[in-house]
Amino acid sequence: MRIGLFGGAFDPVHVGHLILAEQCREQGRLDQVWFLPSAHHPFKPDLARYAQRVEMLRLAVAGNDAFRVEEIEKDLPAPGYTAETVTELRRRHPATEFWLLLGGDNLIDLPRWHEPARLVEQVGLLVLPRPDFALPAEDDLRRTIPGLRPETPLRLAVVERPPLVSIASRDLRARVAAGRGIRYLVPRCVEVYIQQHRLYHAS
């Protein structure tokens, strides 16, 4: 099995996430994409509770057998680091080939992540370029990852990003707080969930 790992806050999940996941699944020849909602995001607080973000994800991917919501991070200690998550996933699924879905900006920051060498030893990197970030050459990236051994292969593949996608969850939260609509920016079931639970509304 070739599995793509798509991590993030998903606060909330939107159609851009789903389009990018499908592009990665198709172009990366993945059997499935697993969505990994962060339980303990080390860089920003989550505005919706973990259980609510998981439920929105489940609603959004329902009926697509190639998409799965994986709640592994709720069982891991804080703070949640990708290297720790991947290590545990490989322990649970030793025969699975994992690929981490990354934006081009995340790839540039990768050397500053928690234990980046351990991470790239365990997964391939499936990168979605962004027009405002130039991707580093593979040799340059290798030189900047602390502790990466010369014999360790760096599996790196670039996915063609669809021109449509420029949606950000933070913008959706701001729209809801301002009383503006998010129709067609998120799946209808997620829009209804946000309305029913009054998520992101200004207090």
> Does residue 120 fall inside a structural domain?
yes
To which residue do tokens 């809801």 refer? Answer: 176
183 belongs to a structural domain: no
Give residue 67's domain range: 2-163
**Encoding tokens for residue 4?**
């793509």
Paired with 97 in beta bridges are: 2
192 within some domain? no
The confidence score (pLDDT) of residue 68 equals 98
> Given the DSSP bridges, would you call strands 124-128 and 2-8 parallel, antiparallel or unpaired?
unpaired
Number of domains in the chain: 1
For the chain, give the number of residues: 203
Is there a domain that residue 175 lies in?
no
Does a structural domain hold residue 195?
no
99 pLDDT tier (thresholds 50, 70, 90): very high
Question: Looking at residue 63, what is its pLDDT?
Answer: 93
Statement: the pTM of the whole predicted model exceeds 0.75: yes
Structural domain contains residue 198 = no
CATH number reported for the structural domain that contains residue 14 in this entry: 3.40.50.620
> Shortest CA distance to 170 belongs to which of 74, 55, 70, 43?
43
Residue 16 included in any domain? yes
The answer to whether 85 and 76 have CB atoms below 8 angstroms apart is yes
Residue 117 lies in a domain: yes
pLDDT tens digit string along 102-153?
998 899 999 999 999 999 999 999 998 887 788 998 899 999 999 999 999 9
pLDDT (tens digit, 9 = 90+) per residue, 42-59? 566 657 899 999 999 999
| Average confidence score pLDDT of the chain | 92
